[in-house]
Structure 1
Amino acid sequence: MDRGMVGRANRGRLHVEVRHHGASAVLTPVGELDHHTAELLREPLEACVDEGYPRLVVDCTQLEFCDSTGLNVLLGARLKAEAEGGGVHLAGMRPVVARVFEITGAEAVFSVHESVQAALADSATE
C-alpha cells in the first residue's frame, strides 16, 4: 500500500489523512465528525473525486463520533463518487459510529467493510 501522505487537515477535534492506493483514495478521519468539523472531511472527499479518484475508502477506525452533519457529508460524497463511476466504502466502523448509520438506514446505501483491506479489495471490482 502506498502510505505516502497526500494531505492532512486539522481543526482541533478532527483531522483527516489522505493517501492513495492504486485507483482508490483512502481517507482517515481521526476524532469527531460533526457540524463544526464536517468541512474538514467534505473538502478532501470532493478533492479526491475531482482529482480522478472516485473510489473512496473511508477508514473509520479512528472516528470517535459522527452526527447527522457528518453523515450528510458522506452521503454527498457518495453521490459525487457514483456520478464519476466510483463509490464510497466505509471500513472499520466503531459501534458508536455504526449506530448512526443503523438508526438512519444509511448503512443500506454504503458498502460497509470490516477493514480497509477488505474495502480496497471490493473497490477494485467497481
Structure 2
Amino acid sequence: MPTKRTASGVFALPTVLDTDIRLGESGANVTVRGEIDVHTAPLLRQRLHDVVVQGEDRVVVHLDGVTFMDSTGLGLLVGAHKAQVATGGSFELVCSDPRLLRILRITGLHQVLTIHDGTDA
C-alpha cells in the first residue's frame, strides 16, 4: 500500500484497519480487522466513541480479525470500556486468538474486560 503526502507535505502511513458496525436487538457489534497501533488507533477510537455516544446498552468488539495490537490499542479498549460503563452499558470483547488473549492476560486486562472466546457472544 503506497504512502500519500498530506497537505503539509508529511507522508501519511497507510491505514491497515477495517471496522464494521452492526446494530441489533442485543446492542452494537463492532468487528475489527487489521492492525491496531498508534497509526490506526484514532480511527478505531472514533468508531467506538460513535457507538458509545449513540447509547447502545451493549457493545461487543470482535477482535479475531486483528493481526497486531500494541499498547495504544489496549489503551483505547480500556477507554472505550470506561466510557461505555459510565453510561450504564456493557462493553465486551470476543477473541479466540491466542496471541491477543496472551497480551490481555499479561496486562491483567482479562480481569477488567469481559472477554468471550469465540463468536457466540
Task: Name the TM-score class by shorter chain.
Answer: 0.7 to 0.9
Q: Which residue of 24, 29, 44 corresponds with 1:26?
A: 29
TM-score norm. by structure 1 comes to 0.79
Unaligned runs of 5+ in 1: 1-10, 120-126
Question: Is 1:68 equivalent to 2:71 in the alignment?
Answer: yes
Q: Which of 43, 46, 50 is equivalent to 1:47?
A: 50
Structure 1 or 2: more helix by fraction: 1
| Contact 1:63 1:93 (C-alpha < 8 Å) held by counterparts | no
Aligned-residue identity in percent: 37
Change (3 A) 1:93 1:70: farther
Aligned twin of 1:100: 103
Larger Rg: 2
Q: Deviations over 1:31-80 (max 9, x none)?
A: 11011101121111111111111411011111111111000000000100
Tell me the secondary structure at the aligned position of residue 25 of structure 1.
strand
Matched, 1:113 2:93: no
- TM-score of the aligned structures, taking structure 2 as reference length: 0.82
* Alignment partner of 1:35 is 2:11: no
Task: Provide Cα deviations, 1:75-116, integer angstroms capped at 9, x if missing partner.
Answer: 000100001111211112311111211111011101110233
Q: Is the 8 A contact 2:95 2:101 kept in 1?
A: no
Runs of 4 or more above 2 Å deviation: none
